Amino acid sequence: MTEVAIADAIDAYLQRKAVGDPDGPGAGTYAANAESILRRWAEWLEDEHEIRSLFALETGHMRSYAEELRERADRGAYAASTVGTYYAVVRAFLSWCVRGGILEANPAAADAAEGALPTATDQGGCDDRDGWTADGRRTLERYVRERALEASGETVDRDERRTRLREYALVALLAHSDVRGAELFRVPEDDRRTGAIWDDVDFYTGTIRVLGRTQRLEDVPLGAPARTPLRRYRVVLDPPSNDWPLFPTRHAPSIARRVRTVLRERGHGEAEIESLFDDATAMELARERSIAPPAITTEGARSVLKRLCEAAAVDVDGDYLTPRSVRRDRDEEPYRREATASKTTLRAAVLEQSIAVPEEQPPIVDPGVGRREESAERD
């Protein structure tokens, strides 16, 4: 039997879903959302197990993938429900391959593989914790607000003022808008989630444009309690360009790496670049040359919140507030307006054996599993 590349099988599956299965309304939208998950899963298989052929895929590989997802859940990078969705998308693809006669059995459906997935009760250390109360959130917000107000005095230097207003804006955005942490901050394993920039913020309409769970750009309302701290922070941050992130990283090596890369792309030689670094810091060069630094990561934001919680004496059994738990007391799904439709580019590869098979399509949230997570950077 002719080998079938996993990448080619994914292409055929997405092409079928893009045009829409007769028994699956909304299948085109599903294809656009599932593509990122499947591509990254294929990359992970190749990087971790050197698997490129669909026929070489075994239950052990899918158990390894489930364990990778569980590890991410254990360290708080994903909720158990999100992990379940990633796995469900891959399982649906492999089920399609079985129904189309490409595979004899679905290795993702085996108990040995699925048994490694986390359950909803497995994540005591992640964002979905019930111990946080509205009082705890208000205590944290009051603490950062008062520190920001104190920063207006002459006894606080510019750098400290910028830090305090940054912290206030970060907490206020999470507490008083429906923007999620993965939409504000950089997600290292998802190259589409690079962090919100100032060009995304429209103070006139009171909205911020983000890449939502469905991988579409959405305009999210910003109420006055979120807008005012953000506007004050922008004044003291004074970003040199609109592509500057709302919350730049303060990890000097990351900033230096970005500056060096951009300077090389602009035609500067290594000797000239080193000479520039002899006379200025990486952030000074970034500002002077309008080179936007990377945004703070989601893990970096968690570190900031942990430090603030400790300083504000906000503690629940040794835990601390996370980006999701800041906004946990709002149960309603936020109102969002789609900004632009997502665009999906498909390669032209079709399997001779493939046939269209109706398949139950799981919901999609935050695609992004694939490469190993970068080490957590400082806040």
Provide the β-strand partners of residue 19: none
Kindly report which listed range (17-26, 50-59, 127-136, 358-367) carries the lowest average pLDDT score. 358-367
Can you read off the two tokens belonging to residue 282? Answer: 């990486």
Q: Is the pLDDT of residue 378 over 70?
A: no
Alpha helices in the chain (DSSP H): 6-19, 27-49, 59-74, 80-99, 111-114, 134-150, 158-176, 181-184, 224-237, 252-265, 270-279, 282-288, 298-311, 323-326
Percent of all residues in the chain with a pLDDT value above 90, rounded to a whole number: 40
Q: Is 366 helix (H, G, I), strand (E, B) or coil?
A: coil
Q: Is the pLDDT of residue 331 over 70?
A: no
**Counting beta carbons within 10 angstroms of the beta carbon of residue 55, is it exposed (0 to 12), middle (13 to 18) or buried (19 or more)?**
middle
User: Rounded mean pLDDT of the chain?
Assistant: 78
The single-letter code of the amino acid at 374 is E
DSSP 298: H
Q: What is the C-alpha radius of gyration for the chain, rounded to an integer number of angstroms?
A: 23
DSSP string spanning 115-128?
TTSPPTTS-TTSS-
Q: Is 339 helix (H, G, I), strand (E, B) or coil?
A: strand
Please tell me the distance from the alpha carbon of residue 283 to that of residue 237, in angstroms, as a whole number: 12
Residue 221: band (very low, low, confident or very high) from pLDDT cuts 50, 70, 90 = confident
Residue 31: band (very low, low, confident or very high) from pLDDT cuts 50, 70, 90 = low
Q: Distance from first CA to last CA of the chain, Å, rounded?
A: 53
Q: Is the pLDDT of residue 267 over 50?
A: yes
Look at residue 15 in the predicted model and tell me its pLDDT.
85
| 85 touches 214 (CB < 8 A) | no
What are the C-alpha distances in Å from 216 to residues 89, 124, 210, 271?
18, 30, 8, 43
Residue 188 CA to its chain's centroid (Å): 7
Look at residue 327 in the predicted model and tell me its pLDDT.
52
Q: Is the pLDDT of residue 131 over 70?
A: no
Length of the chain: 379
The string of pLDDT tens digits covering residues 281-315 is 999 999 999 999 999 998 899 889 889 988 888 86
Rounded average pLDDT over 130-153: 79
The string of pLDDT tens digits covering residues 145-155 is 999 998 877 77
How do strand 207-211 and strand 217-221 relate by DSSP bridges?
A: antiparallel
Q: Which is it for the CA torsion 40, 45, 48, 51, positive or negative? A: negative
pTM listed for this prediction: 0.56
Q: Residues with Cβ < 8 Å from 108, sequence gap 6 or more?
A: 62, 87, 90, 91, 94, 95, 114
Please tell me the distance from the alpha carbon of residue 193 to that of residue 97, in angstroms, as a whole number: 30
What are the C-alpha distances in Å from 235 to residues 74, 165, 169, 246?
39, 10, 12, 12
Closest CA to 300 of 77, 40, 72, 74: 77
Percent of all residues in the chain with a pLDDT value above 70, rounded to a whole number: 72
Q: Residues with Cβ < 8 Å from 307, sequence gap 6 or more?
A: 379
Look at residue 29 in the predicted model and tell me its pLDDT.
54
Closest CA to 11 of 360, 348, 364: 348
Bigger pLDDT: 379 vs 142:
142
**Counting beta carbons within 10 angstroms of the beta carbon of residue 20, is it exposed (0 to 12), middle (13 to 18) or buried (19 or more)?**
middle
Q: Is the pLDDT of residue 337 over 70?
A: no
Look at residue 201 in the predicted model and tell me its pLDDT.
94
The string of pLDDT tens digits covering residues 79-110 is 666 787 788 889 989 989 998 889 999 999 88
Closest CA to 356 of 5, 23, 2: 23
Look at residue 21 in the predicted model and tell me its pLDDT.
47
Q: What is the largest CA-CA distance in the chain?
A: 77
Residue 379: band (very low, low, confident or very high) from pLDDT cuts 50, 70, 90 = low
Beta carbons within 10 angstroms of residue 313's beta carbon: 9
Can you read off the two tokens belonging to residue 327? Answer: 């906004």
Closest CA to 297 of 230, 250, 241: 250
Residue 363: band (very low, low, confident or very high) from pLDDT cuts 50, 70, 90 = very low
Beta carbons within 10 angstroms of residue 377's beta carbon: 19
Domain ranges for the chain, please list them: 6-125, 134-247+305-326, 252-293
Look at residue 162 in the predicted model and tell me its pLDDT.
94
